[in-house]
Amino acid sequence: MENFDFRNPTKIVFGKGTESRVGAETAAYSKKILLHYGSGSIKASGLYGRVTASLKAAGVEWTELGGVVPNPRLSLVREGVRLCKEKGIGLVLAVGGGSVIDSAKAIAMGAVIDGDVWDFYLGKGEPKEALPVGTVLTIPAAGSESSTGTVITNDEGQLKRAVNSDLIYPRFSILNPELCFTLPRFQVACGAADIMAHLMERYFTTVRNVEFTDRLIEATMKTVARQVALVLADQKDYDAWADLMWAGTVAHNNLLNTGRIGDWASHDIEHEISGIYDVAHGAGLAVVFPAWMKHTLETDVDRFAQWAVRVWNVENDFRNPEAVAREGIRRLEAFFRSMGLGTKLGDLKVGTDRLDEMAGKCVGGGRGTVGNFVKLNRAAVRKILELAL
Chain residues in the site for its own copies (CB under 8 A): 1-18, 208-212, 215-216, 218-220, 222-223, 226-227, 239-240, 242-243, 246-247, 250, 255, 258-259
Residue 180 DSSP class: G
CB of 6 to its own copies, least distance (A): 4
CB of 328 to its own copies, least distance (A): 18
Paired strand residues for 133 = 92
Q: Is 255 or 387 the residue whose CB approaches its own copies more closely?
A: 255
CB of 356 to its own copies, least distance (A): 42
Residue 19 DSSP class: G
Q: Is 255 or 301 the residue whose CB approaches its own copies more closely?
A: 255
Buried b (16+ CB within 10 A) or exposed e, 139-171: bbbbbbbbbbbbbbbbeeebbbbbbebebbbbb
What are the residues whose beta carbons fall under 8 Å from the beta carbon of 81, sequence distance 6 or more? 107, 110, 111, 117
Q: Is 188 or 283 the residue whose CB approaches its own copies more closely?
A: 188
| Dihedral sign from CA coordinates of 105, 107, 110, 111 | negative
Contact 109, 117 (CB under 8 A): yes
Q: Is 118 or 203 the residue whose CB approaches its own copies more closely?
A: 203
d(Cα 177, Cα 244) in Å, to the nearest integer?
A: 9
CB of 187 to its own copies, least distance (A): 21
Q: Is 17 or 46 the residue whose CB approaches its own copies more closely?
A: 17
Q: Is 239 or 298 the residue whose CB approaches its own copies more closely?
A: 239
d(Cα 15, Cα 177) in Å, to the nearest integer?
A: 6
CB of 2 to its own copies, least distance (A): 7
Contact 96, 144 (CB under 8 A): no
Contact 238, 353 (CB under 8 A): no
Contact 240, 348 (CB under 8 A): no
CB of 216 to its own copies, least distance (A): 5
Q: Is 210 or 348 the residue whose CB approaches its own copies more closely?
A: 210
SS3 202: helix
CB of 260 to its own copies, least distance (A): 11
